[in-house]
Copies of this chain bind each other. A is one copy, B any other.
Amino acid sequence: MAGDRPRVAPPQDVALIGRSTQQRATVLAALVTAEGFVSARALYNRLLNGGSPVGLSTVYRTLTALAAADRADVVRDTNGERLFRYRPGPDHRHYLICTECGLSLPVDSGPVEKWAERIARTSEFANVRHTVELAGVCPDCGRRHVRAP
């Protein structure tokens, strides 16, 4: 198995999670290209079809590491499956996600950040983190469902 694997431009980010390997660059590139939330399995399949197979465990490891390094946002879909989305900037974001097609839009979370901070401050709790997700049906999917089963 030498060398005929398509090289993907490894964004500098790869270095942030340890050694810079071919697989990590591939997974990261795929995540960036996805432009939305994807599951580990979906990414795995995408790479498989694309001719750049990466082991499923490696996909999981890479995505988990990216999330830990704040390079990816993570949400859980209704079945409890984890979905990952590449995050360009340093600050975390919150999204409005379509439960039908997965379309995700960052929302203005300023107010909710302030609220969370205030709660954290006035509580005696330490190291307070928050999870905020909005989910609904996007216009396209809604249109598609008018009077149809």
Contacts and interface: CB of A to CB of B under 8 A. Distances in A.
Interface of A: 76, 80, 82, 96, 98, 105, 107-108, 111-112, 115-116, 119-120, 123-139, 142
A1 to B, nearest CB: 34
Of A119, A127, A129, A135, most buried by chain B (CB within 10 Å of CB) is A119
B136 A125 contact: yes
A139 B115 contact: no
Contacts of A105: 123
Contacts of A129: 134-136
B142 A135 contact: no
Contact of A128 (B112, B115, B116, B135): B135
B137 A126 contact: yes
Contacts of A139: 124-125
Contacts of A126: 136-137, 142
Contacts of A119: 96, 107-108, 134
B108 A125 contact: no
Contact of A96 (B128, B134, B142): B128
Contacts of A127: 136-137
A116 B134 contact: yes
Of A76, A112, A134, A142, most buried by chain B (CB within 10 Å of CB) is A134
